[in-house]
């Protein structure tokens, strides 16, 4: 089924690749890749990393073909000066699609939007460790102070909340770690709301962006940052997909959203 994008919707496609172990299916995925991608797969030392890479590329190619009349194997990609992947096909429909990808242990997430900048980040909070040292080295003074005011049990969760939001923002900006993490700050005026403040000199305004934060299953925390192109917050549509096999709507728990 062909899907049509508009500015009122952001599609998120999620593959739990830790559950994929069918070598025949992986071979079908490899058939969609170009020579450069196959060479890149061979550079990964561990089998799990090779699997993650192949599934990611197959996910991107098959999902994009839902929005444009282009076969999965016929998509072309380029990278920006900051390493951000971009669609390089000349097709006018393809050129209107914005994509962003994140992966963490067991999960690949692909964000799809129409024409406006998009950043997605997800973390497996059960599998990854994170310490307050990250905040001391990387976060803003305001975020560090807010963290230290929390009880120890709550600090770890808040660290991941800050981290996913920060990653989503710098990915949406398309400039990677060239944006210092201490030059913008998140706060939660209510438990279900999030706000960003941006230091002078960063050439940006908080009113340029929408933010969402939500949980998938018990172990995954995700954040989305999208450029504001209309006055009303876009709808998030989440799907769980096994490329070339199946898809279904994916339940999630929305934690907070910007106003």
HEC assignment per residue over 36-56: HHHHHHHCCCCHHHHHHHHHH
Structural domain contains residue 4:
no
Does the pLDDT of residue 89 top 90, yes or no?
Answer: yes
Q: How many CB atoms lie within 10 A of CB 4?
A: 9
Structure tokens at 213: 């934060």
- Model confidence at 82: pLDDT above 90: no
Looking at residue 106, which CATH number applies to its domain? 3.90.470.20
**For residues 101-116, average pLDDT:** 94
Domain that holds residue 43: 9-257
Q: Quick count: other Cβ atoms within 10 Å of Cβ 61? A: 22
What's the pTM value of the predicted model, to 2 decimals? 0.95
Residues 6+ apart with CB under 8 A from 60: 75, 99, 101, 110
Structural domains counted in the chain: 1
Residue 103 domain-assigned? yes
Q: Which among 171, 164, 216 is positioned nearest to 194, based on CA atoms?
A: 164
Give the alpha-carbon dihedral of 224, 229, 232, 234, to 10 degrees: -40
CB 132 within 8 A of CB 87: no
Contact 257, 203 (CB under 8 A): no
Look at strands 97-104 and 107-114 and give their pairing: antiparallel
The DSSP output letter for 234 is P
Mean pLDDT of the chain: 93
Asked if residue 211 belongs to a domain, the reply is yes
Residues 18-76 have pLDDT tens digits of 877 789 999 999 999 999 999 999 999 999 999 999 999 999 999 999 999 999 999 99
CB distance 166 to 159 below 8 Å? no
Query: What is the C-alpha separation between 85 and 102, in angstroms, rounded?
Result: 12
Mean pLDDT of 94-111: 95
Q: What SS3 class is residue 142? A: helix
Residue 1 domain-assigned (yes or no): no
Whether the predicted pLDDT of 213 surpasses 80: yes
Cα(259)–Cα(200) distance, rounded to whole angstroms?
21
∠ CA 181-182-184, rounded to 5°: 80
């Amino acid at each position: 089924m062909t899907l049509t994008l508009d500015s009122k919707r952001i599609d998120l496609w999620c593959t739990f690749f830790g559950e994929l172990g069918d070598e025949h299916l992986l071979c079908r995925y490899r058939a969609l890749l170009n020579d450069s991608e196959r060479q890149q797969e061979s550079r990964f030392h561990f089998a799990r990393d090779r699997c993650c890479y192949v599934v990611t590329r197959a996910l991107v190619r098959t999902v994009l073909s839902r929005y444009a009349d282009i076969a999965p194997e016929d998509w072309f990609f380029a990278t920006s000066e900051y390493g951000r992947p971009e669609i390089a096909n000349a097709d006018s429909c393809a050129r209107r699609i914005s994509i962003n990808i994140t992966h963490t242990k067991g999960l690949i997430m692909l964000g799809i939007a129409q024409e406006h900048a998009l950043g997605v980040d997800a973390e497996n909070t059960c599998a990854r460790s994170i310490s307050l040292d990250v905040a001391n080295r990387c976060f803003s003074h305001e975020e560090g102070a807010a963290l230290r005011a929390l009880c120890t049990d709550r600090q770890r969760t808040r660290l991941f909340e800050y981290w996913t939001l920060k990653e989503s923002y710098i990915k949406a900006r398309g400039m990677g770690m060239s944006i210092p993490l201490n030059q913008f700050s998140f706060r939660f005026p209510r438990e279900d709301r999030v706000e960003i403040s941006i230091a002078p000199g960063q050439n940006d305004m908080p009113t340029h962006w929408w933010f969402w934060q939500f949980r998938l299953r018990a172990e995954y925390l995700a954040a989305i940052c999208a450029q504001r192109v209309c006055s009303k917050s876009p709808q998030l549509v989440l799907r769980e997909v096994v490329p070339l096999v199946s898809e279904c709507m994916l339940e999630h728990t929305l934690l907070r959203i910007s106003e």
